[in-house]
Amino acid sequence: MELILVNLIDGLVTGLLLFMLSAGLTLIFSMMGVLNFAHASFYMLGAYFAYQISIALGFWMGLLIAPLIVGIMGAGVERYGLRRVHQYGHVPELIFTFGLALLIEELVQFIWGKNQMPYSVPDVLNFTAFAIAGNSIPAYKIFMIFISIAIFIGLLYILTRTRVGMIIQAALSYPRTVEALGHNVPLIFMGVFGVGTALAGVAGVIAGPVLGTFPGMAFVLGSIVFVTIVIGGLGSLWGALVASLLIGWITTFAKSYNIAMSDILNGIGIPSPADLDTSAFRDLWTVTSPQIADILPYILMVMILIFRPQGLFGKRQS
């Protein structure tokens, strides 16, 4: 029971971190229909900017300033890049954002080098919050949970309870009507893109000390972010949250419990081959859950695409 609680907490941390990263991409897609391949690169920039700021001003100033810088950069990318490319369709947008991701990675390596940066947890949070059956839960993980929940509640409130949120949602479905009412729709698009990249920057700031700040960090989480929004449903904030938590818990439990595939197959009534060494399915029978933990989200995505292509919370396209 204690191990289950520890895994629930670890999976919750992983899932909420993934949500912070995918929420910005979901917001951008729901507003503009743009799948931003460079989104994880802004996550990486958030970590690097926060590290650089923390050297002079400390971790907390990095947490405040770095996402703002990333958000301004994202707004600039939309204003002077994507806005010009958008009129030519989705393929040029994808190529543009893919090239931008490569450019950001090269710039990071040119400025900071290829080694991992010594970006660490702040001293005020570098202690054990509590322990479960000898497994310590760091205070920084609890901090990450509260930050993620606060971001979700804030986004949900803004989008559903405020005038700004109503304008954003109206601009998504009826941009010409919103523009006719006197609202600057291109400015709204630029602001949404900036906020989305700023959320990725926040994820980078708080994930950098735990997962490491290095040039390949965008590649590590880049693909799983798209898996998350596909599972949750493109454009759905609730879907991004649920899918992130599912992925976090699935991978955490799979890595913690050494479950053999042979036990699962035997449990559903499929007997083991008489001569396992010469069987064509030998690898299938000998695989264990920790070995396939990292590909389980992709398997889930394939199943979702087969049985519910619009995602868990997505709306069916007519």
Q: What is the count of structural domains for the chain?
A: 1
* Residue numbers of the domain that contains 65: 2-257
Tokens 């990450």, residue located: 144
For residue 79, name the pLDDT band (cuts at 50, 70, 90). Answer: very high
Collapsed DSSP state (helix, strand, coil) of residue 138: strand
16 falls within a domain = yes
* Structure confidence at residue 167 (pLDDT): 81
List, for residues 209-252, the tens digit of each pLDDT value: 999 999 989 988 888 998 999 999 877 888 999 999 999 999 99
* Whole-number Å distance between alpha carbons of 300 and 306: 10
CB 141 within 8 A of CB 14: no
The reported pTM is 0.88
Token readout for 139 is 């205070």
Nearest to 40 by CA among 21, 54, 59, 57: 21
Residues 120-129 have a mean pLDDT of: 91
Angle separating helix axes 185-211 and 59-77, nearest 10 degrees: 140
Residues 80-90 have a mean pLDDT of: 85
* Structure confidence at residue 318 (pLDDT): 38
List, for residues 9-64, the tens digit of each pLDDT value: 999 999 999 998 888 888 787 766 777 889 999 999 999 999 999 999 999 999 99
Winning range, highest mean pLDDT, from 15-24, 81-90, 202-211: 202-211
For residue 158, name the pLDDT band (cuts at 50, 70, 90). Answer: confident
* Structure confidence at residue 316 (pLDDT): 52
* Structure confidence at residue 31 (pLDDT): 67
DSSP string, 48-65: HHHHHHHHHH-HHHHHHH
307 falls within a domain = no
300 falls within a domain = no
Token readout for 137 is 């839960």
State the chain's mean pLDDT as an integer: 87
CA of residue 196 relative to chain centroid, distance: 11
32 falls within a domain = yes
268 falls within a domain = no
CB 207 within 8 A of CB 19: no
Angle separating helix axes 90-112 and 217-232, nearest 10 degrees: 150
DSSP string, 264-276: HHHHTT-PPPSSG
113 falls within a domain = yes
235 falls within a domain = yes
* Structure confidence at residue 166 (pLDDT): 82
CB 74 within 8 A of CB 197: yes
80 falls within a domain = yes
List, for residues 170-181, the tens digit of each pLDDT value: 776 677 788 888
